Amino acid sequence: MSDRFQWLSERGISVEDGFGYTGGEEKYASALQRYFRGYETNRKAVEELLAAGDIDGYAIKVHALKSNSRMIGANSLADAFEALELAAKRGDKGCIDASTSQTLEQYAELIELLRPIGEAETVRAPGEMSSAEARETAELLLAALDDFDDERSAELAAKLAGYPFRPTQKDKLREAARYIGDFMYDEAAELIREIAPAIE
């Protein structure tokens, strides 16, 4: 590991895990920036879902935050979000009410730690697709699937793989590509619709 992220390691972030999930130094830096820049939207969503009593929506959001935190090696925070997810799934409102604020404070502390890289010039790893291009590609892919255009669909699915999705979403994209190869267009489209909202 280079000294570039030593300051994160010293604060308990598993940079090695982050490299493993993202695929290397530049992709890790890009992931850290996206994580930082999604903070305000994500924190607000958690608070609003909780205030509205939407426990199902809350469970989905904290699940995503668990995955995102794990991807950058913030394992302690990932564990905290996972505890909230499990509490939501078992309908334990008392645990949710007691722990959400503390977990969001931990989240805010991590964001402050990431501020130097989060506010730096945008990092894009070689071959990494921008979010705007990924959204356009996903739309074109869905249109190609609707037209049963297997060659164009396969081409666009391969192109979409250039976006830095989380590991679970990458798996779904690979599965969609397999469906396209088997001419299972509806199944492929369903998976693309599942992962498209994760493009930030």
Average pLDDT over residues 55-81: 94
* Confidence grade of residue 16 (pLDDT, cut at 50, 70, 90): very high
Last residue of a domain, one of 118, 147, 176: 118
101: exposed, middle or buried (Cβ count in 10 Å: 0-12, 13-18, 19+):
exposed
Tens-place pLDDT, residues 131-173: 888 889 999 999 998 988 888 999 999 888 888 887 778 889 9
Q: Specify whether 9 is located in the same domain as 88.
A: yes
Asked whether residue 123 is assigned to any structural domain, the reply reads no
CATH number of domain containing 20: 1.20.120
- For the entire predicted model, the pTM comes to 0.70
Q: Specify whether 158 is located in the same domain as 86.
A: no
Last residue of a domain, one of 84, 118, 152: 118
The share of the chain scoring above pLDDT 90, in percent, equals 53
Closest Cα to residue 160, out of 145, 146, 14, 5? 145
Q: What is the DSSP letter of 127?
A: T
Closest Cα to residue 122, out of 34, 39, 35? 34
Q: How many domains does the chain have?
A: 2
What pLDDT does 162 receive? 84
What pLDDT does 2 receive? 58
What pLDDT does 52 receive? 95
Q: Best-predicted range by mean pLDDT among 98-107, 110-119, 123-132, 156-165?
A: 98-107
Tens-place pLDDT, residues 187-200: 999 999 988 887 87
Task: Count how many residues are written for the chain.
Answer: 200
Tens-place pLDDT, residues 41-65: 999 999 999 999 999 999 999 998 9
